[in-house]
A and B are shown apart, each in its own frame.
Chain A
Amino acid sequence: MDKGKQKGLWVFLAVAVLLGLLWQVYPLPDAKQRMDALPLNGPGFKGEEIAVTPFEENFFREVNMLKRVYKIEGQSYFVTVLDGTHNRHVVHDPYYCIAGSGWKVVAEEPLHIPGGQGNLIQMTKDGYQRQAVFWFSNGTSRFASPIRYWIEATVRRITLGWSGQEPVLIMIQPLDNKPVDWQKVIGVLNPVFNI
């Protein structure tokens, strides 16, 4: 490699390091305000904050996390919201986390929700059956595609937040195995779709 090319690469490397540092220290607005606006109680639902475990406190450091149980007509639902503005690497494609923890998705279908679409998944592990609904929300639209989440989150960071609000991951899981009328849950827990 001639001296000219080496010099050019040194300059490019220095510029890359500087730009990278600038982008990393820039304070991106997060989604905490949107998450805090979710009421704990309301017509037809009663919520309870769930304490973060020591593992979660470490794993989800720098991540705004909402962890609650909501009771709707005698059934309890675990609601999780993850805002990865300051650490987007812990906001995974739910299928990845499900597979990683030994669960197997046996069925999935799109679920129409206010503002867009979520995914309803049925999963099984060691003979247990569970279901969950998840979607990503950027404050304007709701979608279930992790690829779209990665694109939106990446473009948001490259544009230093100018492209839009941070997409967050929202998941609702019933705590037991009873049949769920998801349209009723969606109708009662409507404020969750304002995140």
Chain B
Amino acid sequence: MKTRFPPLVALAIIVYCGWNSSGLISDWQHDPLAASSWIILLFWLNPAVVSRIAGTPLSIPTAYCNTTLLTLALMVSLLGVMGSLNALKYASFAIAIGGLLPWSWGSCLWILSALSWMPALGWLGAHTSPSAILPMRFTFVVLGTSAALAALAYNKRGQTHG
């Protein structure tokens, strides 16, 4: 099974944004409203992983990465570091990973669905309905990853049928 890696600088930016998002680990350990979000994150990463495995129906034909999203991710992460605001750091990580997929309505929804693994969703739920937080996480991640995978499949079909 051959994987297709994006340029090294794209990986470096993802690592940088991921490093800045390491506060997530503490949230998962101590925050009851963010519990099991690490499972949601692993699920959310699916489209990025699936598209990089060559030879599978949804693989991207080239070592693609979105320069605009990577630049945006860097800016947002830097702002998050300067302002010490975790929400921005987590958003930058989502945008950086989102840069691994071709831009489409599906990838846009997928990036937005990153809220599913962020503590921010727990904050919203704390003000409305704490018991709905976990179902909301699962709903958002399923919808987002489905949208991304559907867009990949549509894109692939477009290439196959010319």
Give A contacts to B, CB under 8 Å.
1, 5-6, 9-10, 12-13, 16-17, 19-20, 23-24, 59, 88-89, 93, 95-96, 98-101, 104, 150, 153-155, 157-158
Contacts and interface: CB of A to CB of B under 8 A. Distances in A.
Contact of A16 (B7, B65, B78, B130): B78
Instruction: Among A1, A17, A89, find the residue whose CB has the most chain B CB atoms closer than 10 A.
Output: A1
Nearest to B15: A13
Interface stretch (B67-75, B102-110, B142-150): B67-75
A17 B9 CA distance: 14
B78 A9 contact: no
A9 B74 contact: yes
A99 B85 contact: no
Nearest to A23: B82
**B interface SS class:** helix
Interface in B60-113: 65, 67, 70-71, 74, 77-79, 81-86
Nearest to A154: B83
B49 interface: no
Nearest to A94: B126
A5 B67 contact: yes
A63 to B, nearest CB: 13
Contacts of A158: 79, 82-83
Interface stretch (B27-35, B39-47, B154-162): B27-35
Contacts of A5: 67
A24 B89 CA distance: 14
B142 to A, nearest CB: 24
B58 interface: no
A62 B85 CA distance: 16
Contact of A157 (B83, B86, B122, B125): B83
B125 to A, nearest CB: 8
Given A16-B16, A96-B122, A100-B32, A88 B84 contact: yes
B122 to A, nearest CB: 7
Contact of A1 (B7, B123, B125): B7
